[in-house]
Copies of this chain bind each other. A is one copy, B any other.
Amino acid sequence: MRVRPLRREDRSDVERLLVSTGMFSAVEIATALELVDAAITSADASGYFVFVLDLSNDPARREVRGYVCFGPTPLTDGTYDLYWIAVERSAQGNGYGRTLLEFVEHAVRERGGRLLLIETSSQDAYGGTIRFYERNGYPLIARIPDFYKPRDDKLVLAKKL
Stretch at the interface among A49-57, A76-84, A101-109: A76-84
Return chain B residues, CB-CB under 8 Å to A156.
142, 144
Size band of the A side of the interface? Answer: 20 to 34
A27 touches B75 (CB 8 A): yes
Enumerate A83-109 residues with CB–CB distance to B below 8 Å.
none
Secondary structure call for the A interface: strand
Return chain B residues, CB-CB under 8 Å to A147.
73, 76, 79, 115, 117
B75 touches A149 (CB 8 A): no
Please, how many angstroms separate the alpha-carbon atoms of A22 and B160 in the complex? 31
Q: How distant is A124 from chain B, measured CB to nearest CB, in Å? A: 17
Which of these, B141, B148, B158, contacts A79 with CB under 8 Å? B148
Please, how many angstroms separate the alpha-carbon atoms of A144 and B144 in the complex? 11
Return chain B residues, CB-CB under 8 Å to A114.
146, 150
Interface residues in chain A, defined as those with a beta carbon under 8 Å from any beta carbon in chain B: 27-28, 31, 73-79, 114-115, 117, 141-150, 156, 158, 160
